[in-house]
Structure 1
Amino acid sequence: MRGATSAKWVVGAVIVAMSATACGGGDNKADGGSAGGTFRFGITEPTAIDPVNAQESEGIVIARALFTGLYDTSTDGKLIPKLAESGTPSDDGKTWTFKIKAGTKFTNGEPVDAESFVRGWTRVSAKASASDVSYHMADIAGYEDLHSGKSDKFAGLTAVDATTLKVELSIPDFEFVKKTAHSVFSPVPKVAGAGDNKAFNDQPIGNGAFKMTSPWQHNTSITLVRNDDYGLQKAHLAKVEAKILNPANGSTLEYQGFQSGQFDYARMPTPQLTAAKAKYDPQGEWISGDFSGINYLNIFNQNAPFNNADARKAISYAIDREAIVKGVFQGLQKPASAFLPPSFADVYQAGVCTSCVKQDVAKAKEYAEKGGLKPGTVVNFGYNTGAGHEEWVQAVAQQLKDVLGLDVKLDGKPFKEALATQQDKATSGLWRQAWTADYPTADNFMTPLLSTTGIGEDPATGKAQGDNRGRYSNPEFDKLLVTAKATKDDAARAALYKQAEKLAVDTDQGVIPLWQRTQYRLVNSKKFKDIKMDFYEDPTLAEISLK
C-alpha cells in the first residue's frame, strides 16, 4: 500500500471519536427483523475514500463499502467473483479478458458496464489525479504515457462491448486477475469526472452495498447507508457511522468507547490486550485472526550506517523477538522468520531469514564488526506515534544498545509526517513498518516493497514515491520477479518467488522481519452477528446484521 496504503501501510491501532450516542441506535427492523441498526466504529482521518486514491485501512474500508469491482478476496486469500463472470488470460499471459455481470447500476442510475471500468482505471492512472495508488496499474500497456501526461487514453484497456473488458499488459502476468480485487480497480460513473473532483472525492457515487447521502465530514465522521438497489447480495445494516478522531491516544479512546457502550467494534492498546481478552473472550466479544501481512523494520539500504548487508544483519541478529513477544505483546503475537506470510502457503518459508530465527549476540557483534557498525554509532529509529508502538520500539532500541552499544535515537512522528520523512533520500537508520496485502500474491509484497521500480524515485526531488522506502535494489531480484509473473505454472512461479525472498530477505537483508500479523478486535456480539475481519483486517460491513 502506498502512504498508509492498503497493501497497505498499516498505521496500527485505529483512533475512534467518542460518540455521545449509545451504540446501535436508529434500528430499522425491515427485511424480516434481521436488517437495520446502526453500526459504529472508529477510523483516523483517511487520505481518501474515493478509489482514485484510497490507500490505507481507514480509506479502504469506506471505498470497499461504496464500490464493487470484478473480484473480492476472502480472509484466507481466495478470489471471490463479484461483477466478473470470468477472467481469462491469453496463452502468453499478456492479455486478460473479463466478462462482466450485466444489469447492475451505480446509485445515480448509470449502468455499470465495461466502459465504467475503463473510465475508473483511466481516472486513477491519469497524471492530473496524482494518485498514490496508481502503481497497481503500472503493468497495463499505455500506463506510462497516461501517467506522464503524454496521453489521456489508456492504450491497454478496451471495452469490447457492454459486458466485455479487454486488458493488454506490457509484460506477462498470470496473476493479474488477483490485483483486480483491490478497490483502486473499481468502476466509476461518468459524473466522477477528473480525479480531483472534490465533490465526488468527498461523496463518491458508487455501486456497492452502501452509499453516502451526505458528504464526508472531515476530521469528524463518515456516514454510510444501505444501498437498497445494490445488484448483488444486499447489506443488512441500515447505517454505518465511522467516527474520526485525531490520532493521539486513539487506541485507548477506542477501547474506552467500547467499554462504555459507545462503539460496536474496537482495537486495543497493546498493554490492555491480556485484560481485554480475559474480560471479553468469555462473553463472546473477542475475535482474532492471522492475516496476510508482516511487521518489520524498514532499513535504509543506501545510506550509512546500513549501506551494507553485514551491518543490516547485525541489527537483525541483535533483536530478541521471543522476549518482546512474551514481554511487550504478552504472547499475543508470533515472531516472524520470513517476509511472506504463512497464509500464502505455496510460498511460505519459515526460517528463510536466518538472522530472524533466534537472537545471536555473538553473530550480531561479528556482523557489526564486518559491517563497520561500531559501538557508539548513532542510529535513528523512527515510528508513527499514537498507534500503540511505543512499548515495543523502546524494547528493540534497548536491545540494540545492550548488544551492540549503539546510540539509538527514537524518532516518533504522526503517521503522515512519518511517511513523508521516509521518502527523503537523505533519511537513514531504521523505521517501524507494517504491510498487509492488497491482493493474495507474493508479488504484492515483493514488487512494491523490495523491487527497484518500487522505489519510484522522483528525478527532480529524489523522493521515493513508491513503497520501497528503504531503497533496497538488486537487479538479480528484479529479474526473478519479472520471470515469476511470466510463469504460467503455479508451482514453478512459487519456486521463483521463494528464490527471490531468500535473496532479498536473507542474503541481502534488505528488510528485517519482526512478527507476523495476528489481529484482535472487540465486537458487540450481544447486538450484532457475523462481525468478522476481512482480508484487509477491516470489519465485514456488508455481512453484519442485527441479532
Structure 2
Amino acid sequence: MFKKSISLLLILFVVLFAAVGCGGNDVNKKEAKNGEQVKEKDQKITKKEKYGGTFKGRLASDPPTLDPAHATDTTSSRVIRNIFDGLVQYNKDLEIVPAIAKSWDVSKDGLTWTFNLRKDVTFHNGNKVTAEDVIYSFTRIVDPDTMSERAGLFEDVKGVEAYQNGKADKVSGFKKIDKYTVRIQLKRPFTPFLQVLAMENASIVSKEAVKKYGDQFSQHPVGTGPFKFTSWKHDSKVVLEKFEDYYVDGRPYLDKVEYKVIADNTTAFASYEQGSIYQMDSDIPSGQVERIMDPNGEFADDYSLVNRLGTYYLGFNTQKAPFDNPKVRKALNYAVNRQVIAQVLRHGTVKPAQGILPPGMPGYNPDLEGYTFNMKKAKKLLAEAGYPNGLPGTYELAYNTSKSHQKIAVAVQRNLKELGVDVKLVNTDWGTYINKVDKGDTQIFRLGWIADYPDPDNFLYVLFHSDNAGSGGNYSFYKNPAVDKLLEKARRMKPGKERLELYQKIEKKIMDDAPWIPVYYYSTHVLVKPFVHGYTFTPQTPLELTDVWLDPSHQ
C-alpha cells in the first residue's frame, strides 16, 4: 500500500507538470516532431552502428566533488550519476525504477524496506556488488568521520543516532539478510524514502577504493555506473570511458564522455557553435536567446525549453543584523522587481516566483499571494523596522561567477538602491562560493534549488528545517520551531490531499517570515546537436548518458 501510494504521488507529479506547460513555447509539439524524425532514422541504423564515439558535454564550473557522500550541487551530480548507480533510479518520466536493486518490498506500516539485489553488478575495479557494499555505502554517509553534508538523508533509519554518538559499532537499521538482500528498518515512517534512495548521494561506492584513496576518493571515484572515471584536470576537463561490464544491457553506446569546464557562457556558446561541445543547457548568453528560440532558425533542430522543478532565489542570513528582522526581509522582498527580471533578463521564458514550491511540484499553490513589486510598501516596512532613511552601511550580495547571475544581481542592486539599501556585488567560482554559503559567511546570497526528488519535503524540510542550517541546505540559517514541528509531521504522513494542504500551510508561514526573496521558477534552454540521440533532460536533471548515441558520421 505504501509503495503504491508513492507511485500515485509520482503519477500526480507527472500530470501536474504536463498541465503547467510553458507559455509561448510549443516545446511538446517540437519534441513530438523530432521524436518522429529520430524514430524514422533509427530504423535505418543498426544497434551495432550506434556504438562508438565521444560525447562532448559542458560543465559551467569545476565540480566541487565527485564523491556521492559530499555532493550538494547539480554540477557534481551530473558527473556522479554517470559513474555511480544506486539501488533505484528515475526514468525519463520521473518514475522510480530498479537499478542495483531488482525489486523491493515495504511493510504496511512503512517502516521495513527489503531490497533484492541483482547478482550481476560489478564495480569498475571488477569486484562484485553485494549486500555488504550497500550497507557500507549507507553507513559511510552517516559516519561522523565522513562529515557528509547529506548525512540527514538517513536520519530516520533505526540506530543511526546511536552509531553517530559512539554507542554502537554499526547502524542496527541496516541489515544483511543474505549476500544479495538488504533490509532497512526505519524508526518512523518517511514518505519519500524511496525517492531519497534515487539521489546521487545514495550511490553504492567501492569500499576497497575508499580505503585505498581515503580523502582523495573524490579524485579517483569508483562506482558501478555506465562510465568509469579516467581523469580530471581541474577547471578544464573530466573524462569518463565506457564500462564494458555494465549490468544494463552491457556497455553504453558511447566510448567516452568528455565534460569540458567552460565557466563563461559566451565562450561556451561559441564552443557549441563550433562543434567542440555537443550540449549546452541554461546560461545561454542573453544576446543569443532570441536566435536559438527562433522556430525557423538555425537552431530549430537543436533547441528545446524544459520547465524545471526548481526556484531561483536570493537568501538572507537570518542570523545576522539587520536581516534577523523579518520586516527588513519583507521590505527587500517588495523592492525586487521579479517581473522585469523574468520578462527582460530571462526573455519571458521563466515565471516570476510567488512562493517557494515551483509549478509541477505536488503541493504547489497557485493562489499563494507572495510579494509583488511595491516600493511604497517596501519603504513603509523598512521604516516600521526602524530604518526610515534606509539601511545604514553597505551589504554584500554574493553570487557565483556567471554573466546571467551578474545581470540579475545588478538589477537587484538598483532596486535596493531605490529603497535606500546599498549592496556591493561579490562573485567567486562555484567551489569557493558554495563553501562560503555552507559556512554562513554571507549577508544576501544567490542560489537556486532543483528538486532532488518530486516531493515538497525536498524543498521545505531540506531548505528550512533548523536541523539543516548551513551545509544541510538551510543556507539562510532560518529557525522557526513551529515550522519545524509541522515539517516533521508532514514528512511522516501518508500521501494525499491532507498532506499537501499541510505543506501549503507551511509554505505560507515561511513566506511570512521571508528568509528568501524567491525570484523565478526555473526553465532551462537546452541545446543538443541533432546528431546526438537519446539525450534526456527531465524537469529535475539530465539523465545519465547510458542510452546516448551519435550518428555514425560523428563517431
Question: TM class, shorter-chain normalised?
Answer: 0.7 to 0.9
Give 1:368's aligned residue. Answer: 382
Matched, 1:264 2:278: yes
Alpha-carbon distance between aligned partners in 2 of 1:226 and 1:384, rounded to the nearest angstrom: 32
- C-alpha root-mean-square deviation of aligned residues, in Å? 2.5
The alignment partner of 2:478 has SS state of coil
Give 2:41's aligned residue. Answer: none
Alpha-carbon deviation of 1:283? 3.5
Give 2:526's aligned residue. Answer: 521
Give 2:89's aligned residue. Answer: 72
CA contact (8 A) 2:465 2:483 kept: yes
Candidates 452, 457, 462, aligned match of 1:448: 462
Candidates 496, 506, 510, aligned match of 1:500: 506
Alpha-carbon deviation of 1:342? 1.3
CA contact (8 A) 2:81 2:544 kept: no
The alignment partner of 2:520 has SS state of strand
Alpha-carbon deviation of 1:329? 1.5
Unaligned stretches of 5+ in structure 1?
1-28, 456-463
Alpha-carbon distance between aligned partners in 2 of 1:532 and 1:107, rounded to the nearest angstrom: 24
Q: TM-score, normalised on structure 2?
A: 0.84
Alpha-carbon distance between aligned partners in 2 of 1:352 and 1:78, rounded to the nearest angstrom: 28
Alpha-carbon distance between aligned partners in 2 of 1:215 and 1:326, rounded to the nearest angstrom: 41
Decide whether aligned partners of structure 1 residues 423 and 544 sit closer, same or farther in structure 2, where only a CA change above 3 A counts: closer
Alpha-carbon deviation of 1:102? 3.1
* 2:235 partner letter: N
Give 1:183's aligned residue. Answer: 200
Candidates 226, 242, 259, aligned match of 1:226: 242
Matched, 1:319 2:333: no
CA contact (8 A) 1:280 1:522 kept: no
Matched, 1:205 2:222: yes
Give 2:537's aligned residue. Answer: 533
The range that moved more, 137-146 or 294-303, is 137-146
The alignment partner of 2:500 has SS state of helix
Give 1:139's aligned residue. Answer: 156
* 2:342 partner letter: V
Alpha-carbon distance between aligned partners in 2 of 1:431 and 1:228, rounded to the nearest angstrom: 44
What does the per-residue CA deviation read over 1:356-415, in whole Å, with 9 as the maximum and x for residues that have no partner?
Answer: xx322332223222223443414432212235311111111111222x222222222333
Give 1:20's aligned residue. Answer: none
CA contact (8 A) 1:117 1:185 kept: no
Give 1:348's aligned residue. Answer: 364
Alpha-carbon distance between aligned partners in 2 of 1:414 and 1:472, rounded to the nearest angstrom: 25
Q: TM-score, normalised on structure 1?
A: 0.85
How do 1:120-131 residues align onto structure 2 when only pairs under 5 Å count?
Answer: 120-131=137-148
Candidates 476, 479, 483, aligned match of 1:473: 479
Decide whether aligned partners of structure 1 residues 354 and 528 sit closer, same or farther in structure 2, where only a CA change above 3 A counts: closer
Alpha-carbon deviation of 1:529? 1.5
What does the per-residue CA deviation read over 1:124-161, in whole Å, with 9 as the maximum and x for residues that have no partner?
Answer: 22222222233322332333344456655222211112
Percent identity of paired positions between Structure 1 and Structure 2: 29
Alpha-carbon deviation of 1:510? 2.4
Decide whether aligned partners of structure 1 residues 375 and 94 sit closer, same or farther in structure 2, where only a CA change above 3 A counts: farther
The alignment partner of 2:318 has SS state of coil
Alpha-carbon distance between aligned partners in 1 of 2:365 and 2:193, rounded to the nearest angstrom: 23
What does the per-residue CA deviation read over 1:296-323, in whole Å, with 9 as the maximum and x for residues that have no partner?
Answer: 1111222222223222111112222111
Alpha-carbon distance between aligned partners in 1 of 2:440 and 2:85, rounded to the nearest angstrom: 38
Decide whether aligned partners of structure 1 residues 143 and 431 sit closer, same or farther in structure 2, where only a CA change above 3 A counts: same
How do 1:108-123 residues align onto structure 2 when only pairs under 5 Å count?
Answer: 108-123=125-140
CA contact (8 A) 1:318 1:360 kept: yes
How do 1:451-462 residues align onto structure 2 when only pairs under 5 Å count?
Answer: 451-455=465-469
Matched, 1:510 2:515: yes
Give 2:355's aligned residue. Answer: 338
Alpha-carbon distance between aligned partners in 2 of 1:514 and 1:332, rounded to the nearest angstrom: 13
Alpha-carbon deviation of 1:423? 4.1
Alpha-carbon distance between aligned partners in 1 of 2:333 and 2:212, rounded to the nearest angstrom: 42
Alpha-carbon deviation of 1:58? 2.4
Matched, 1:307 2:324: yes
* 1:314 partner letter: A
Alpha-carbon deviation of 1:453? 0.5
The alignment partner of 1:366 has SS state of helix
How do 1:11-50 residues align onto structure 2 when only pairs under 5 Å count?
Answer: 31-43=47-59, 44-50=61-67
Give 1:491's aligned residue. Answer: 497
Give 2:432's aligned residue. Answer: 417
Alpha-carbon deviation of 1:162? 2.5
Q: How many residues align?
A: 500
Alpha-carbon deviation of 1:195? 9.2
What does the per-residue CA deviation read over 1:43-65, in whole Å, with 9 as the maximum and x for residues that have no partner?
Answer: 22212213232332222122111
Question: Normalized per residue, which structure has more helix?
Answer: 2
Matched, 1:406 2:412: no
Matched, 1:277 2:282: no
* 1:434 partner letter: G
What does the per-residue CA deviation read over 1:334-365, in whole Å, with 9 as the maximum and x for residues that have no partner?
Answer: 21112112121x3111242521xx32233222
Unaligned stretches of 5+ in structure 2?
1-44
Alpha-carbon distance between aligned partners in 1 of 2:290 and 2:357, rounded to the nearest angstrom: 27
Decide whether aligned partners of structure 1 residues 75 and 365 sit closer, same or farther in structure 2, where only a CA change above 3 A counts: farther
Give 2:28's aligned residue. Answer: none
* 1:503 partner letter: K
* 2:178 partner letter: D
The alignment partner of 2:233 has SS state of coil
Candidates 116, 131, 140, aligned match of 1:99: 116
CA contact (8 A) 2:153 2:196 kept: yes
CA contact (8 A) 2:150 2:472 kept: no
Matched, 1:51 2:52: no
CA contact (8 A) 2:82 2:544 kept: no
Alpha-carbon distance between aligned partners in 2 of 1:353 and 1:179, rounded to the nearest angstrom: 31
